[in-house]
Amino acid sequence: METSKIFTTLLSLVVLFAAIWFSRDDGYSVLPNKLQQVLHAMLEVEQQYHVGEVQIAVGYGACKDIFVQGSLLMGAMTPPQRTAHFSRIDSIEQLKEMYALFYTAGSAAERYVGNETLFSETLAAAEAVPGSYSTLGGNAPVMASRFASEGAKVLLAAKRTPYIMQKINSNIIVGGVETEGADDIHLILEYKAGESWGTYQAPRANRFIMHSDDSNPTLSTVEYFGEQLTAFKPHLFVVGGLQMMDNFPFAPGVREERLIAVRDQIVSLPVTTRVHFEMASFTDTDLLTGLIQHVIPYADSLGMNEQELPNLYSMVKYGNVSLVSDFNPRVAVVLDQMREVFQLLRETEEKGGKRHLTRLHLHTLAYQAIMVLKDSPWKNTLAASIKAALTANRHVCGNTEISIDNARMLMDDGFTLSEAEGAGRVLFDNHRPVSCWTEDDGKVEVCIAPVLICTQVRQTAGGGDNISAAGLILQI
Ligand SMILES: *[C@@H]1O[C@H](CO)[C@@H](O)[C@H](O)[C@H]1NC(C)=O
Ligand SMILES: *[C@@H]1O[C@H](CO)[C@@H](O)[C@H](O)[C@H]1NC(C)=O
Ligand SMILES: *[C@@H]1O[C@H](CO)[C@@H](O)[C@H](O)[C@H]1NC(C)=O
């Protein structure tokens, strides 16, 4: 996308506020507790929606995730004198300084480790920490598993290694090459809200991920997967896992070649197959530029978190990357950024397989925001935002049963619709906790659902993928 075009595009922000409250105003006002009322109202809506016969293909890659408590692994080391940012990790000092940076910001991060000795030593240390465990990971398998457990038929683009084949939900078809090769390993350091390391303190629970993949970044399954993808005839194709390419030492031109292969894979599908791209923690400007050129204009839908939105916004608007951002941004701020990104990408000219953006899902700690073009096939936006919000609690607490004893709400007195002067305000109502409205002359629908934030954190990694998948499944 040209910057000149972006600069001259005027944002037509007509917030036609027509809130559609979903819930009746009777019944459970007897519930004693505010959280209980909110939960009840949301569960009631969720129960009314069921997943139909849908086929979903998901790419790319899979890995073995090793989880360890950051406080036990990093806590055993002397905290660094300063925090610092690096695009990749080559030494233990860099690891400490970068971990401290993201930890104090409460921001999720994922970085490539260029030093193999460092990676294997850190991995060995992590595996020796009590309570560390491993699971099948990667954006694509997590989303695929969520879709499969919701009842969809799923095809996953990943190598068929013994570990993956043993761990994957048996209903999922794995469409990659059969190999005895080693699995790519991701080391996930989870930390809790309020935890400290020397003088550093974490404001919220989050994770820091390290990897030294040599197979996932090259998206080696793309070609092998092509034939199966076409035969599978998916209703939805979800593209994720491309952050593995971030700061990977590609030979000149190879990264772009791989992005073009992804583009061609998308373009090979009929326009009736909707395409969702899940953003992630990208820091490499060249990669983001490549995505904005070769992948994002080919997607109907985008999913991202509160760090990835400002990053994409900054990239499409100014051509630069934002590294660390507010971990709990105000609704008005993100709505303005969403409107601008949505507006810009909605104008994509539909040629050469490019698609207009018709859906944007933002998942944050405190709320879920979904923006869709009314005149598009996406349905049930309200229910989707509720399912996404409920999934956030279930995932982080590791329990399908939501307990209000382990929950709190950050968004409880309402929000302003925009930072623009005179913007309306939505007051929070316990019995109608989700608000939806239309704007831009009725062309765009927006829903905001509060998250019952889990306070007994089991795992944050994979949350975005589960949440995004839960939102998508009710919209196709
Ligand atoms: C790689 O890591 C090892 C282990 O921490 C360290 O001894 C070595 O100096 C590092 N290499 C570089 C180039 O920093
Ligand atoms: C990106 O560029 C804009 C406009 O030049 C500037 O205002 C903003 O601070 C920059 N952001 C970063 C993260 O450098
Ligand atoms: C999220 O996905 C992972 C991987 O499939 C799964 O183990 C976990 O239970 C999921 N969480 C929820 C709430 O479904």
State in Å: Cα 122 to ligand 1 middle. 11
Q: Is 118 in the pocket of ligand 1 (CB under 6 A)?
A: yes
Q: Which of 34-38, 46-50, 462-466 has the lowest mean pLDDT?
A: 462-466
The whole-number average pLDDT for the span 440-450 is 97
Q: Is the CB of 350 under 6 A from ligand 1?
A: no
CB-based contacts of 246, cutoff 8 Å, min separation 6? 110, 111, 112, 281, 282, 283, 284, 287
Reported confidence tier of residue 32, pLDDT bands at 50, 70, 90: low
Is the pLDDT at 20 greater than 80? The verdict is: no
89 lines ligand 1 (CB under 6 A): no
The whole-number pLDDT of residue 26 equals 36
| Residue 293 confidence (pLDDT) above 50 | yes
- Indicate if the pLDDT at residue 329 is higher than 60: yes
Q: Looking at residue 413, what is its pLDDT? A: 84
- For residue 224, give every residue at least 6 positions away whose Cβ sits within 8 Å of its Cβ, in sequence order, or none: 175, 176, 177
Nearest to 170 by CA among 184, 159, 183, 156: 156
Question: Mean of the pLDDT values across residues 238-261?
Answer: 92
Select from 207, 205, 212 the least CA-distant residue to 109. 207
Residue 394 in tokens: 């279930």
CA–CA separation, 290 and 276 (whole Å):
17
Residue 254 Cα, ligand 1 centroid: separation in angstroms?
27
The finding on whether 395 has its CB within 6 A of some atom of ligand 3 is: yes
> What mean pLDDT is predicted for residues 427-448?
94
Q: Are 47 and 226 in contact (CB under 8 A)?
A: no
* Contact between residue 96 and residue 74 where contact means Cβ atoms under 8 Å apart: yes
pLDDT of residue 11: 30
Looking at per-residue confidence, does 7 or 441 come out higher? 441
Task: Determine whether the shortest distance from the Cβ of 111 to ligand 3 is under 6 A.
Answer: no
Distance (Å, rounded) from C-alpha 29 to C-alpha 31? 5
Residue nearest to atom 3 of ligand 2 (CA): 318
pLDDT in tens, 139-166: 999 999 999 999 999 999 999 999 999 9
Q: Show the tokens assigned to 27.
A: 């019944």
> Ligand 2 test: best mutation among 320, 324, 337, 340, most atoms within 8 Å of CB?
320
- Interval between CA 321 and ligand 2 midpoint (Å): 8
Q: For residue 354, name the pLDDT band (cuts at 50, 70, 90).
A: very high
Answer yes or no: is pLDDT of 347 > 60: yes
- Cβ of 146 closer than 6 Å to ligand 3, yes or no, is yes
Cβ of 120 closer than 6 Å to ligand 1, yes or no, is no
CA 318 to ligand 2 center in whole angstroms: 7
| Angle at CA of residue 148, ends 143 and 154, nearest 5° | 80
pLDDT value for 31:
56
pLDDT in tens, 67-124: 999 999 999 999 999 999 998 999 999 999 999 999 999 988 889 999 999 999 999 9
- The residue contributing the CA closest to ligand 3 atom 13 is 395
DSSP assignment of 188-247 equals EEEE-TT-EETTEE-SS-EEEEEE--SSGGGTTHHHHHHHHHHHH--SEEEE--GGGGTT
Decide whether any atom of ligand 1 lies within 6 Å of the 117 Cβ: yes
CATH superfamily of 55-65+135-184+214-473: Ribokinase (3.40.1190.20)
- Residues paired with 438 in a beta bridge: 445
pLDDT of the residue at 2: 39
Instruction: Give the best-scoring range by mean pLDDT among 225-229, 261-265, 411-415.
Output: 261-265
Residue 27 reports pLDDT greater than 70: no
Take atom 10 of ligand 1 and give the residue whose Cα is closest. 91
Most confident of 198-202, 222-226, 320-324: 198-202
User: Residue 4's pLDDT is what?
Assistant: 36
372-389 per-position pLDDT tens digit:
999 999 999 999 999 999
- Å from CA of 120 to ligand 1 middle: 11
CA 305 to ligand 3 centroid distance, Å: 18
Instruction: Give the whole-angstrom CA distance, residue 214 versus residue 438.
Output: 46
Rounded mean pLDDT, 236-263? 93
Whether residue 5 has pLDDT greater than 70: no
pLDDT at 231 over 70: yes
Compute, in angstroms, the gap from residue 361 CA to the centroid of ligand 3: 19
What confidence score (pLDDT) does residue 228 get? 94
pLDDT higher than threshold 80 for residue 432: yes
Of the chain, the percentage scoring pLDDT greater than 70 comes to: 93
Q: Which residue has the higher pLDDT, 399 or 1?
A: 399
Query: CB of 434 closer than 6 A to ligand 3?
Result: no
Ligand 1 centroid distance, CA of 470 (Å): 42
Contact 472, 238 (CB under 8 A): yes
Q: Say which range, 6-20, 110-124, 409-423, 443-457, has the weakest mean pLDDT.
A: 6-20
Distance 31 CA to ligand 2 centre (A): 48
Reported confidence tier of residue 247, pLDDT bands at 50, 70, 90: confident
Which residue has its alpha carbon closest to ligand 3 atom 14?
395
Q: What is the mean pLDDT of residues 261-274?
A: 96
Strand partners, 275: 237
Whole-angstrom distance, CA of residue 243 vs CA of residue 305 = 14
Predicted confidence (pLDDT) at residue 29 exceeds the cutoff of 70:
no
Q: Which two tokens stand for residue 299?
A: 């997607």
Instruction: Check pocket membership of 4 for ligand 1, CB cut-off 6 A.
Output: no
The CA distance from 9 to 296, in Å, is: 18
What spacing in Å lies between the alpha carbon of 114 and ligand 1's midpoint? Answer: 10
The pLDDT > 90 percentage for the chain reads 72
Mean pLDDT of the chain: 89
